[in-house]
Amino acid sequence: MVHEPSSRARVSWNSYEDDMPVTAELDPESWSAVLAPRLAYFAGVARHEHVTRAAQDMGVPQSTLSRAMVRLEKDLGIALFARKGRTVSLTHAGRTFLSSVERALAEVERAAETVRADADPASGKVAFGFLHTMGSETVPGLIRAFRADHPRVRFQ
């Protein structure tokens, strides 16, 4: 099976710059795929107001972070940062975008923690299905015995 990209999203790859997408006429449905990898970078640069310090804090090369911010602004078609020498500050659009980005990143973090917690063998969630004929006698005993050894596990 060959994967065919969506005909509505026009994304080309530039192999010279970290294989990041260079976009032209993005379909709104493809924005999340293109923008998502750069949102945490954006939040880090906004927090530090300095690309080099943000890069050091995030453990990425400064050049990668700089290019990602330039591409983000290009993709959105709006300046998010006002550059002042070696520092940057958020524009009005940047502040507006940051507010939404922080909420989105927090939601992604919550989602990741939820699925990781559900998979935790000591306190996760077990999906349990059974025939109704077993429900009145066998299942309660099985669950009771399991919970005695694993009190924090939840059943679904």
Q: Looking at the structure, tell me whether residues 114 and 135 fall in a common domain.
A: no
pLDDT surpassing 80 at residue 134: no
Is 41 in contact with 60 (CB distance < 8 Å)? yes
Whose CA is closest to 104, among 39, 52, 53, 152?
A: 39
Does the reported pTM lie above 0.75? no
pLDDT band at 23 (very low <50, low <70, confident <90, very high): very low
Q: What is the mean pLDDT of residues 6-14?
A: 36
Note whether 75 and 136 are same-domain residues.
Answer: no
In the chain, the N- to C-terminal Cα span, in Å, equals 36
Q: Do residue 85 and residue 131 come from a single domain?
A: no
**Domain containing residue 27:** 11-119
For the chain, what is the domain count? Answer: 2
Q: Are residues 145 and 112 in the same domain?
A: no
134 shares a domain with 96: no
